[in-house]
């Protein structure tokens, strides 16, 4: 076998053997010279034993040849027909020439004419037929392993592509069903990679859409219910007046006016809630003192609390609590919270309104000692038309819009509202507004 190093060695040594041929006129004696190079004594020993090579082969050339021979390399000289003239190992070469070609050596040129070819073969030496067969088998095994690895890679790529494409196809199919109105679609979640995150996000989105869809349906049903009751009362009373069954007394007229007022209030609440949720509610922002606002609101409901036998307490320090907001809208929020507290607090109970500052916010809290809110109802108290009272009577549960409106108004001011309650011990509603900042 001829390596790149062997080719480089041949290039350096070819001129030296050209000099030898130029001085001797033929290749006679060169094999003896190569044999002496292969001995452990190297070229210097060859010169001593066989009279030495012509003086044209320099010491540098002899050292280069000695290094190649000591490294186990094999030096061959071929004539112009490709036949071996000299071999440094002077051994039989079965099958060796099958791997040695003249074009793998370096031409030896004398006076512009090629007189032979120098080949420096690999240190691996001569390969036997068995070694050739073994090398062939190794090549076949390497080829087979490459093909198997390529096939395995293709199979794994196909499986991976199917694994990635399956949830994408499931997503597309579910999206089409959702577009057709089927919100029950969900994508199976497996693993913890990006595809699983996509499935979780999709399922979460569909769950929210389903909740909003149910909420809209429930809102429509609740609106129909709220409108149907006063309209039915009005229709019955008017038909009774028309048929002469009821006289148009002041009490009858007052009852009709009550139902009309309820309808008007319900329509106004719906309009206000719609504007607030759409971000189109007009709010006249101005500097306010939350403490002063709390005092004014408590004064407005003091008589109602007294009539119900409920003690109304105000806890507002003398310090100022500056906020920015619409006094009418914020008063509406506090009045709604106080009205709910009074409605659900029995006689001899108490309702308190407190104001304090905390971490850049002004907190306004309404706390009562009433019946409290069941744990199952707490997450829903701010939903439209939601009543903890299952009887749905307007006398006990109101229209179910008050807390929804309160939340929308507070959020329109850049604040937040939440509730804490223990059933049987009362509720605690808290409104947090930015301290002295316009939102």
* Across 116-125, 183-192, 376-385, 426-435, least confident range: 116-125
10 touches 118 (CB < 8 A):
yes
E-only strand ranges, 56-103: 74-78, 84-87
Residue ending a domain, among 86, 121, 156, is: 121
Please check whether residues 13 and 111 belong to one and the same domain.
Answer: yes
Question: What pLDDT score does 41 carry?
Answer: 34
Beta bridge partners of 365: 354, 430
Sequence-ordered list of residues with C-beta below 8 angstroms from that of 110, at least 6 positions apart, any chain: 18, 21, 22
Same domain, 71 and 15: yes
Phi, psi of 389 (to 5 degrees): -80, 110
Instruction: Let me know whether 419 and 309 are in one domain.
Output: yes
pLDDT at residue 86 greater than cutoff 60: yes
Ramachandran angles phi, psi of 24, nearest 5°: -95, -25
Whether 303 and 233 map to the same domain: the answer is no
Domain-embedded: residue 189 = no
Residues 26 and 15: their CA atoms lie apart, in Å, by 15
Residue in 371, 378, 362 with CA at minimum distance from that of residue 416? 362
Contacts of 232 (CB under 8 A, 6+ apart): none
Is there a single domain that holds both residue 293 and residue 426? yes
Question: In this predicted model, what pLDDT tens digit does every residue of 331-378 receive, in sequence order?
Answer: 999 999 999 999 999 999 999 999 999 988 999 999 999 989 998 888
How much is the pTM?
A: 0.51
User: In which domain, by residue range, is 223 found?
Assistant: 194-277
Q: Are residues 230 and 301 in the same domain?
A: no
Beta-carbon contacts of 59 under 8 Å, excluding residues fewer than 6 positions away, are none
Q: What is the CATH number of the domain that holds 402?
A: 3.30.565.10
Q: Which helix (H) or strand (E) segment is 269 a member of?
A: helix 250-277
Structure tokens that stand for 247 in this block: 């006289």
Which CATH number belongs to the domain containing residue 214 in this structure? 1.10.287.130
Whether residue 291 sits in one domain with residue 273: no
Q: How far apart are alpha carbons 292 and 406 in whole angstroms?
A: 19
Point out the domain boundary residue: 232, 254, 277: 277
What pLDDT was estimated at residue 355? 95
Residue 374 is assigned to a structural domain of this protein: yes
DSSP 8-state symbol, 148: H
Inter-residue contact 167 to 187 (CB < 8 Å): yes
- Strands (E) across 245-294 are located at 286-289
Model confidence at 47: pLDDT above 50: no
pLDDT of residue 55: 43
Domain final residue, candidates 225, 259, 277: 277
Are both 111 and 20 inside the same structural domain?
A: yes
294 and 235, same domain (yes or no): no
Tell me whether strands 416-422 and 350-358 are parallel, antiparallel or unpaired: unpaired
* Together in a domain, 296 and 430: yes
Helix (H) or strand (E) holding 291: helix 290-308
- The total of structural domains in the chain comes to 3
Instruction: Answer yes or no: is 409 within a domain.
Output: yes
pLDDT in tens, 189-236: 877 777 788 888 888 888 888 887 877 777 677 777 777 777 887 888
> Do residues 355 and 364 touch, judged by C-beta distance below 8 A?
yes
Same domain? 67 vs 205: no
Check whether residue 317 and residue 412 sit in a common domain.
yes
241 within some domain: yes
């Amino acid at each position: 076998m001829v390596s790149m190093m062997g080719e480089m060695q041949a290039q350096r040594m070819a001129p030296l053997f050209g000099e030898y041929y130029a001085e001797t006129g033929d290749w006679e004696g060169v094999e003896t010279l190569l044999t002496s190079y292969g001995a452990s004594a190297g070229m210097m020993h060859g010169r001593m034993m066989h009279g030495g090579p012509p003086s044209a082969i320099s010491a540098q050339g002899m050292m280069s040849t000695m290094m190649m021979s000591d490294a186990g390399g094999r030096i061959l000289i071929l004539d112009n027909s490709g036949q071996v003239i000299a071999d440094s190992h002077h051994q039989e070469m079965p099958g060796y020439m099958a791997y040695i070609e003249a074009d793998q050596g370096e031409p030896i040129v004398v006076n512009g004419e090629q007189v032979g070819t120098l080949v420096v073969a690999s240190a691996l030496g001569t390969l036997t037929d068995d070694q050739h067969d073994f090398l062939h088998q190794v090549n076949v095994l390497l080829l087979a392993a490459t093909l198997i690895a390529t096939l395995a890679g293709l199979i794994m790529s196909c499986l991976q592509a199917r694994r990635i494409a399956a949830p994408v196809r499931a997503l597309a199919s579910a999206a089409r069903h959702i577009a057709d109105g089927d919100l029950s679609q969900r994508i199976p979640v497996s693993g913890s990679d990006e595809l699983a995150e996509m499935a979780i996000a999709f399922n979460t989105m569909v769950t929210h859409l389903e909740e909003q869809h149910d909420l809209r349906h429930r809102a429509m049903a609740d609106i129909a219910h709220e409108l149907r009751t006063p309209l039915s009362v009005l229709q019955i009373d008017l038909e009774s007046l028309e048929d002469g069954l009821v006289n148009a007394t002041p009490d009858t007229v007052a009852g009709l006016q009550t139902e009309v007022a309820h309808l008007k209030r319900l329509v106004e609440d719906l309009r206000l809630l719609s504007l607030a949720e759409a971000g189109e509610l007009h709010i006249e922002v101005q500097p306010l003192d939350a403490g002063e606002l709390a005092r004014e609101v408590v004064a407005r409901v003091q008589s109602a609390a007294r009539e119900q036998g409920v003690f109304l307490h105000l806890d507002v320090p003398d310090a100022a609590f500056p906020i920015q907001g619409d006094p009418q809208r914020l008063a509406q929020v506090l009045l709604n919270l106080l009205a709910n507290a009074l409605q659900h607090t029995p006689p001899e109970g108490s309702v308190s309104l407190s104001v304090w500052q905390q971490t850049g916010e002004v907190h306004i809290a309404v706390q009562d000692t009433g019946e409290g809110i069941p744990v199952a109802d707490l997450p829903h108290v701010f939903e439209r038309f939601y009543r903890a009272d299952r009887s749905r009577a307007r006398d006990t549960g109101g229209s179910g819009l008050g807390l929804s409106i309160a939340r929308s108004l507070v959020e329109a001011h850049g604040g937040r509202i939440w509730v804490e309650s223990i059933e049987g011990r009362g509720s605690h509603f808290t409104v947090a507004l930015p301290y002295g900042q316009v939102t």
